[in-house]
Amino acid sequence: MAAPMFQGSICALITPFAEDGVDEDAFQRFTDWQIRQGTEGVVACGTTGESPTVSHAENKRIIDLAVEASAGRAPVIAGTGSNATHEAIDLTAYAARAGADAALVVTPYYNKPSQEGLYQHFKAVHDAVDIPILIYNIPGRSVVDMDVGTMARLAELPRIVGVKDSTKDMARPYRLRSAIGNGFCQVSGEDGTQLPYLAMGGHGCISVSANVAPGPLSEMHRAWRSGDVARAQAINDRLMPIHDVMFAEPSPAPAKYGASLLGFGSERLRLPMVPLSDATKAQIRQAMAGAGLLG
């Protein structure tokens, strides 16, 4: 049985901003810290990295920075999706040239393509580039859900290697595993359901909470893989308040604020994202302190 290409806790990295653009020093320090804390992979310029509001030039630069900072110690998955197929091809081709280990390509948002349109979009990206591709299936943001049959068709293509599953459907890992096999990488995109997802056959999580809790989350996944279910459950219980508060206001504002408390950049966002309320900031500080993440 083939092993999945990616597993464990993978951080969906925030993108720290300075007044004049990306805070490159903070981003690279943050990426390095993630890996030293045990994170088993990083996603550069995903939704948590504010991909909707960075330019294509910034997107490519962020990929370069992540590859440089990781220095081969952990895989870099580059966010390269677009609702325009030619743009997704351009960004994904750049990620391949930059040395990223894989690309995370979201289902086209707003257009609402059919299942055949989804298949042809991903096939076009696949055929144009030489890099492993993870499908990012997030109906809540893209307003389209790739069904199991379409994903099984795409899994027949050699460089379509897995999915970031943000459907919140805990039966989906079983259905995909039954249709495709265990070698197709299944990582959750929902922090609060990581353990149920693993129990149903998933392999890991692309995590927002890992921005502030990389060490504990990495430990939780390693405990699960070693069969120490009680240890994994105890860590999960400790971190559930973190998972909740990371979405108390639209993401990634809570994660950026939490990272700023840890010394990694400012909480600066780009419109239409706006700063957190003081009440939410207090909730984040309380949750992080309660989980032993501050001080």
Which residues does the annotation mark as catalytic?
Answer: 136, 164
CA distance 251 to 248: 8
Q: How far apart are CA 6 and CA 189, in angstroms?
A: 13
Query: 211's torsion region: left (phi>0), alpha (psi -120 to 50) or beta?
Result: alpha
Cα–Cα distance for residue pair 27/35, rounded to 1 Å: 13
- In the chain, where does DSSP find H-type helix? 24-36, 56-70, 85-98, 115-128, 139-142, 148-155, 172-180, 194-199, 214-226, 229-245, 253-261, 278-290
Cα separation, 54 vs 270, whole angstroms: 9
Distance CA 225, CA 206 (A): 17
Alpha-carbon gap, residue 89 to 272, rounded angstroms? 26
